[in-house]
Amino acid sequence: MEWLGLQLFAELPASGQIILDCRHNPFLVMLAYLVACAACFATLDMAERQSHSEGLNARRQWRILGACCLASGIWAMHFISLLAFQAPLEVHYDMPLTALSLIIALLAAWLAMNSLDRTVMQWRHYLQAALAIGLGITVMHYVGMAALQTSALQYYQTPLLVASLGIAVVTSLVALLMARHFRSGSGTLHLVMKYGASLMMAAGIVLTHFTGMAALSLVIPDNLPLQLPSANNSLQLGLTIAFITLLISGSSISAALADKKLQSKEHDLRRVNVLLSQLDQARASLQQAAHYDALTNLINRRGFNQVFAERLAEQTASEGMLAVMFLDIDHFKRINDSLGHAAGDELLKVIAGHIKAATRSQDVVARFGGDEFCIVTSLHNRDEARHLAQRIMQRMKEPIDLGGRRMVMTTSIGISIFPDDGRSAEELLKNADLALYQSKGGGRNNLNFFNSSLKTRATLELQLEEELRVALLEERGLCVHYQPIFDLHSARVAKLEALVRWQHPQHGLLGPDRFIGIAEANGLIAELDLWVLRRACEDVAELNRLGYGHLKVTVNCSAVTLGREELASEVEMALFQAGVAARQLELEVTENALMGDIHRTINLLKRIRAQGVALSIDDFGTGYSSLAYLKRLPLDVLKIDRSFIQDVPGSQQDREIVQAIIIMAHTLHLQVVTEGVETDEQHAFLAAQGCDFLQGYLLSRPVPLTDLPPVLERLDNLDSDFSPERGTALPGSPDRFADAPGCRAGASVARRGH
Ligand code: C2E
Ligand code: CA
Ligand code: CA
């Protein structure tokens, strides 16, 4: 087959002269190989750049540059190798064919770079590309050979020709795989491997060429004379081409290197940017965590301070009005103590939801920790603040299901108004706190606005604490009043509750609600309780001497007092010193006082009870103890809290509750005292329900020991249909102590007349 003057797949002619003296200039061959190596290395670099470039244009540029490197490499290798070919012939190069071979090389190289740009390369793609590129290189080689013009004819042996094609295809395949592999990676090993790959690829290309050359036989037809080569300038030409090709490869490599640096800088810049934005996010979430309460999702104190300062500045500028509200959940501690902290947390979440629902979206709602919430709202008049507070209190009364129980929480609220009650955040918060204190003191479930008298009260409180300390130390001013507890079965007073009072030199007779809290907060309560216990025992001894030996005295015991192991021995000592029998003493403990370490408390109570002292559970129904709990306690008496009897007989629900408590107490073999009985109807109802004892203003207010005999006289001589003297039972009188005589030291009691 003749193609472009080449005799392909043809047998050697029968006649003609075969030129055997063909050699290659080893220097030029080495040069050709070197050029191929450099070009291959540059191509691998370009392939790498191509895959790392992000813009389409940049990819195309690298593809073009890569194709140029590869094509120039292959072509220059081929051409320099041809220049290295030395035969005893005059050689010329056909320019168009030479150019065509270069174009074919470019096409094959372009194809190679193109296939490397695929995102996914399957084997099929590799094979197709390798075949096309190998074919291209082979065609380039033979077109290049055709450009070689001599007087001889070129005959090619089929096996070697096919082998050259095969080598070209395999070389292309290996080159593609390696280029693909070296697209990513860095470091010295990567570079060394790339060098190795370039050497191998170049070797493949050189091998293709020389296999093709090995297939060649130059035959001079018989009729043509042998033209010997004239002056040989192949070396010069070869060096020039090599120089140009190396220049192309070298500059491409430099460009790739520069681009790599630039890209890595860009990369670094981008990484820094990403890091910065991540840092920003982290800082934002830290700030969020620092300013928000994770449990309720409300802002915390820190967050509040910030927002509050902003709101204050706004209102100061616009001469507007603000309300600051402090909220405290009533008896929240009992929930934590009785149902545990998890339930407490759950409850706080619900309460936070209630508060949020009662406020407007522009109001600031914060949780200050524990059960303390704070709200800031802008308004036009004080009434708006009152309405908001009432809305919250109303919401709060919605029953909450918690730990299998349904409970109703209440809240105490204190309000201060900007600018009337202060202009600084600190002052407003302090004054709202004072107002809250007032609400809690006033029986809770209450709201109060700050007023200047509260300030005086806060100072007073501090002073009271100091004075109470002195009063306890010097046993001066404190006294005990006694409130009779009427036995409904025997129709006589059976017990007296000892209730502490303080005859203050300036403030007159103070009730326990004015100073028990102070005593509890300042570690004075145990001492106070002990003092009352001793005094009550002494007074019982006095009553015994007066002929009231059937009376018992009940003494209140705070949670702190109940937490002291010494209590059992102190009780024993108080009884012993006063010479009173243990059966004449009863200790009253509240439900929440029992909640601490139940095993220890049970032990202590058992020890006290073993002496013969009776135990009663006070304010029953206001805590959250379960019946199972109650059953385990060594109790004798249950006192139904005043709040249950207040609305009896009007409220059917309360009637049913009282009824149920009495039945339950009797089932547990506990006697029942109902406190706060103020009306005949309440008495009648309780008597009908089988209540054992009554206590309340209906019978008598708490009175000093000296005033007790006439009261006892009157109560013990009531008619069977029970109609107590109205004069002593004035429910809701503004000051319960106003008409009660103070503490008279050493007061003597008139002896009982019978
Ligand atoms: P408490 O143990 O529930 O005592 C009953 C309180 O209810 C007494 O108030 C009593 O005066 C009042 N009360 C009795 N009947 C009626 C009534 O018909 N209507 C109304 N509205 N109230 C009635 P007081 O004396 O002000 O005592 C208040 C609380 O102070 C006591 O509640 C008790 O928890 C505590 N307390 C009193 N004395 C002591 C004490 O010596 N030690 C301790 N730790 N706490 C004491
Ligand atoms: Ca009591
Ligand atoms: Ca009580």
The answer to whether the peptide bond before residue 419 is cis (omega within 30 degrees of 0) is: yes
21 found inside a domain: yes
> Of the residues 472, 499, 525, which should be mutated to test ligand 1's pocket, given the most ligand atoms within 8 Å of the CB?
499
pLDDT, greater one: 317 or 741? 317
Structure tokens at 338: 């009785």
- Asked if residue 44 is part of any domain, the answer here is yes
Structure tokens at 562: 């109940």
Mutational pocket test of ligand 1: of 556, 694, 737, the residue with most ligand atoms within 8 Å of the beta carbon: 556
CA-wise closest residue to 264 among 53, 453, 91, 7: 53
Q: What is the mean pLDDT of residues 58-84?
A: 90
* Nearest atom in ligand 1 to 557's CA: 44
Kindly state the DSSP code that residue 593 receives in the 8-state scheme: G
Ligand 1, atom 10: nearest CA belongs to which residue? 702
How far apart are alpha carbons 400 and 672 in whole angstroms? Answer: 29
**Better-predicted residue by pLDDT, 643 or 485:** 485
Q: What are phi and psi of 113, to 5 degrees?
A: -65, -35
Binned at pLDDT 50, 70 and 90, residue 276 comes out as confident
Task: Tell the residue number behind the tokens 């300038």, with chain if given.
Answer: 233
Tell me the CA–centroid distance for residue 499 and ligand 1, in Å: 6
| pLDDT for res 229 | 65
| Same domain membership, residue 344 and residue 248 | no
pLDDT given for residue 741 in this prediction: 52
Find the range with the poorest average confidence among 275-284, 308-317, 395-404, 652-661.
275-284
Distances (CA, A) of 637 to 197, 272, 308, 552: 98, 74, 51, 13
Would you say the CB of residue 484 lies under 6 angstroms from ligand 1?
no
The most confident of the ranges 43-52, 104-113, 148-157, 573-582 is: 573-582
Answer yes or no: do 316 and 255 share one domain: no
Whether residue 276 lies inside any domain: the answer is no
| Residue of 544, 539, 552 whose CA lies nearest to 484 | 552
| Ligand 1 proximity of 702 Cβ (cutoff 6 Å) | yes
Q: Which of 48-52, 337-341, 410-414, 660-664 has the highest mean pLDDT?
A: 410-414
Residue type, 19: I
Residue 661: band (very low, low, confident or very high) from pLDDT cuts 50, 70, 90: confident
For the CA of 697, the nearest atom of ligand 1: 18
* Percentage above 70 pLDDT, the chain: 91
> Do 225 and 347 share a structural domain?
no
Give 186's contacts (C-beta < 8 A, 6+ positions apart). none
Q: How far is the CA of 229 from the centre of ligand 1 (A)?
A: 135
CATH of the domain at 438: 3.30.70.270
Q: Is 499 in the pocket of ligand 1 (CB under 6 A)?
A: yes
Q: Do 134 and 65 lie in a common domain?
A: yes
CA distance 580 to 751: 18
DSSP-based three-state secondary structure for 228: coil
Q: How confident is the model at residue 738 (pLDDT cuts 50, 70, 90)?
A: very low
The answer as to whether 512 is a domain residue is no
Residue 139 CA to residue 146 CA, distance in Å, equals: 10
User: Cα separation of 361 and 746, whole Å?
Assistant: 63
CA distance 37 to 34: 5
Number of Cβ within 10 Å of residue 644's Cβ equals 21
The residues near 283 (Cβ < 8 Å, ≥ 6 apart) are none
Give this prediction's pTM. 0.52
Band of pLDDT at residue 719, cut at 50, 70 and 90: low
β pairing state of 148-149 and 92-93? antiparallel
Q: Is the CB of 556 under 6 A from ligand 1?
A: yes
The answer as to whether 521 is a domain residue is: no
Judge if 78 and 219 occupy the same domain: yes
Does residue 194 sit in the same domain as residue 152?
yes
Domain assignment of residue 81, yes or no: yes
User: Atom 13, ligand 1: which residue's CA is nearest?
Assistant: 676
For the chain, the C-alpha Rg in angstroms (whole number) is 53
**Residue 619 near ligand 1, beta carbon < 6 Å:** yes
Residue 28 corresponds to which tokens in the numbers above? 């030029």
Q: Residue 626: pLDDT above 80?
A: no
Ligand 1 near 697 CB (within 6 A): yes
Which of 369-373, 394-398, 632-636, 696-700 is most confident? 696-700
Residue-level pLDDT at 725: 41
Task: Evaluate whether 9 touches 213 at the Cβ level (below 8 Å).
Answer: no
**Greatest CA separation for the chain:** 173
DSSP β-ladder status, 614-620 and 637-640: parallel
Say if residue 58 is in the same domain as residue 187.
yes
Residues 83 and 226 both lie in one domain: yes
Tell me: do 236 and 121 sit in the same domain.
yes
Same domain flag for 491 and 446: no
CA 572 remoteness from chain centre:
54
Q: What are phi and psi of 407, to 5 degrees?
A: -130, 155
* Burial class (CB within 10 angstroms; exposed 0-12, middle 13-18, buried 19+) of 471: buried
Per-residue DSSP letter, 371:
T
Q: Is residue 404 part of a domain?
A: yes
pLDDT at residue 225, rounded to an integer: 67
Question: 442 and 494, same structural domain?
Answer: no
Q: Answer yes or no: is pLDDT of 723 > 50.
A: no
Q: CB of 682 within 8 A of CB of 698?
A: yes
**Looking at 232-236, 610-614, 632-636, 744-748, which range is the least confident one?**
744-748
Percentage helix, strand, coil, to 5, in the chain?
A: 55, 15, 25
Query: How far, in Å, CA of 616 to CA of 554, rounded?
Result: 9
- Pair 196, 305 in one domain: no
Nearest to 676 by CA among 605, 622, 630: 622
Is residue 347 domain-resident? yes
> Whole-angstrom Cα distance, residue 468 to residue 474?
10
Domain count, the chain: 3
354-396 pLDDT tens trace: 999 999 999 999 998 888 999 999 999 999 999 999 999 988 8
**Average confidence (pLDDT) over 539-558:** 96
Domain of 159 in residue numbering reads as 2-265
> What average pLDDT does the structure give for the chain?
86
User: What is residue 410's three-state secondary structure?
Assistant: coil
Q: How far is CA 309 from CA 362, 364, 738, in A?
A: 15, 12, 46
Cβ atoms within 10 Å, residue 159: 11
Give the lowest-confidence range in 209-213, 636-640, 746-750. Answer: 746-750
CB–CB of 669/712 below 8 Å?
A: no
Which residues have CB atoms below 5 A from the ion given as ligand 3?
Answer: 618-619, 675
Query: Which CATH number goes with the domain that contains 683?
Result: 3.20.20.450
d(CA 389, CA 376): 11
If you count them, how many residues does the chain have? 754
